[in-house]
Structures are given as structure tokens and as C-alpha cells.
Copies of this chain bind each other. A is one copy, B any other.
Amino acid sequence: MSQANISESEVDIVIGALHSDLTLFMNEWRPFFLRFHIIIVKDPDLKEDLQIPEGFELDVYSKSDIERVVGSSTAGLFSGYSCRYFGYLVSRKKYIVCVDDDCFPARDNMGNVVDALAEHLFNLKTPATPFFFNTLYDPFRKGADFVRGYPFSLRSGVDCALSCGLWLNQADFDAPTQALKPGVRNLRYVDAVMTVPVRTMIPVSGINIAFNREVVGPALVPALKLADEGKLRWETIEDIWSGMCVKVICDHLGLGVKTGLPYVYRTQRGSAIESLKKEWQGVKLMEDIVPFFQSLRLPQSASTAEACVAEMAKTVKEKLGQVDPLFLRAAQAMEDWVKLWASVASSTG
């Protein structure tokens, strides 16, 4: 596994705009975003015009663009936090980096501003090591290596397909935790990246991620929409679901998922107490979702992310369909998504 070089022209930054004024957001990220092409997808439910400062190389997609590309019957997939998935769909780049619009550059323990883009791309270009745990974390970071006892045959690793970053200040809790501990802030900058071991399931947050679109793009699927889904992170689990899809597919295809650095600084928004008035649907569903994905095995014949998602959709229908009709809709969305991915690829490729 040689370390891949990533050129800036291979990367799209995708931003889902849930708020109309992106001025502060874009200006804070300016020094880091400037090198890259940016795709901004406006939440189709957002009425106001977007405010975006000058000076970036970017394409903006809004409701009419979404309907034009996917048809008005499928456009519903892309509301709220799921609007970003439209950016994944229309991007023609190999790599995607995606950050929520309420996040700003973080500072490390030395007070230096973190270049989250560079750190994500480093994670993606260096190998992942899912088959054995390295106690000193990422062996490919400067100053690190494999520890005594680490088999040499496993040291070359596998390609990393997904890099999950973290959040300082406002952590990514669910509504009950947020309501119970409204004052808790994540202040601990943990200076580590690690590969999530094979067959270990992880709650991937969509707040701050990067991935190899070419190999796992179709697995990042906007499938699970809660009945009463809102516009706050803790009112969604669409990213958790698609993260489980990606992890199972990476395990199946021999790819890696990393978690840890980079951090972003996340600001507070919304009232968790208000969110509590909604049903705890997401929290309840996780009790079925986790065992399902933990035991899910894909057939050897599924050798691409598209094929894996299509296989998964069938199993979701079979195994989770009777638990909640939401899962039937998720399975349907996964099937639609795979077709959409193929048709958009063929029309623009």
C-alpha cells in the first residue's frame, strides 16, 4: 500500500446550507477552502437567498437544480441535512470533504489553527490498518510507528475510504443527553487518528467527514429519515445510518475507516429541550439498527459499493421491514439512490 498523493483538483468540498447567511462560515474557512472547488447545496426547505462572500470557486445548487437532476418525486430525499448528499451525487471528483455550516476551524493543544482539509486528505492518502490494533494509534503519523508485536504482514495496511473527524465545544450528543447536560462542552483535543477495527461498528457523524467518492460514494446514502425529522443534528440519524452502510461495505471490500483528527469547532444551535418534545424515535431505532449492521454480511458477488448498497437494501427490507415502516422507506431510498448514482454518472461521465 503506497501512500497516494492527492491533488487539489481531485477534491470537492461539499457544504449543505441549512442557514442562509454563510458569510461568517465561509470567511472563517477562507484560508483553507481557497485551494479547492466547493459545492454548496441549499436545503430545499430554506426560503431565503443564500449569502455567500466573494472569492471562492464554487457551484451552488438549489431546489430547482435538484428537481431538474433527480426529478421532483425523488427530490424529497435531499431535504434538511440530507441536501449535502446531492453534492456527493453531482460531484465528479475522487474525494469529498464535508463540514456542517455551523462549524469553524478549531485550534489544537498548542493554539495552532487546524487545517481540517489537509488532515482529512492525509488520513485518506495514508493506509488504514483495520486487522490489528496499534496501541500508539496511527502508525503513519510523523514520529509514530507500529509497536512491538504488530505483524509485519499487516503493516502495509489497506486503502482508507472514510475519514471521520471530531468536534470541539459543542459535542455531537443526542437530544436526551444534550437536554440532560446542556452545559457540557467537549474541551479535550485528543491528538490521535486511528483505524476503526474491522467488524467494529461506529456511529459516524456527518458533521465533519471526508471520503473517497470513487470507491464508497454510493454508500453515503440519504436513506433513513425520521418521521418528525428537524433541522438540528440531534433530530437526525441519516448520517449514522449511512455511516453503518459505509463501514459494513469497507469491511466487505477490504477498505479502512479512520476516526479522530481533524477537529472542527462546533457552535451551539437550537434547544435540546424543544427537541425532546418530539418523539425519541432515533434513539429507539438505534436499538434495532446496531445489531442489524453488526450481523450483516454481504455476498462475495457484491464487489462494488453500488452492488453492496443494493444487496443491503434487500436485507433491510427482509429483516427490518416489519420492525418499522421507516426501514421499508430507507430500503426503497437505497434502491433509488443506486439507480440515481448510475444515471447521474452516465449522464455526466
Contact = CB atoms under 8 A, between A and B. Distances in A.
Interface of A: 109, 132-137, 141, 143-154, 164, 166, 171-174, 177, 181, 184-192, 196-205, 233-234, 237, 240, 243, 259, 282-283, 286-287, 290
Given A135-B203, A148-B172, A154-B290, A190 B191 contact: yes
Q: Which of A145, A153, A287 has the most CB of B within 10 A?
A: A145
Total copies of this chain within the assembly: 2
Contacts of A134: 203
B172 A147 contact: yes
A188 B132 contact: no
Contact of A148 (B184, B185, B233, B287): B233
A233 B149 CA distance: 11
Contacts of A132: 200-203, 290
Contacts of A188: 136, 141, 143-144, 191-192
Given A143-B187, A164-B135, A191-B188, A148 B201 contact: no
A297 to B, nearest CB: 14
Contacts of A141: 188
B133 A147 contact: no
SS class of chain A's interface: helix, strand, loop or mixed?
loop
A290 B135 contact: no
Contact of A133 (B153, B181, B200): B200
Contacts of A189: 191
Nearest to A239: B149
A148 B133 contact: no
Contacts of A201: 132-133
A201 B144 CA distance: 20
A234 B146 CA distance: 13
Given A132-B290, A133-B200, A136-B166, A173 B186 contact: no
Given A145-B171, A188-B144, A203 B150 contact: yes
Contacts of A192: 188, 190, 192
Contacts of A187: 143
A5 B184 CA distance: 25
A186 B143 contact: yes
A151 B237 contact: no
Given A188-B191, A191-B191, 10 more contacts: A135-B166, A135-B259, A146-B173, A147-B174, A147-B205, A149-B286, A150-B174, A152-B283, A153-B287, A198-B200
Nearest to A153: B287
Contacts of A234: 148
Nearest to A154: B290
Contact of A203 (B148, B153, B205): B148
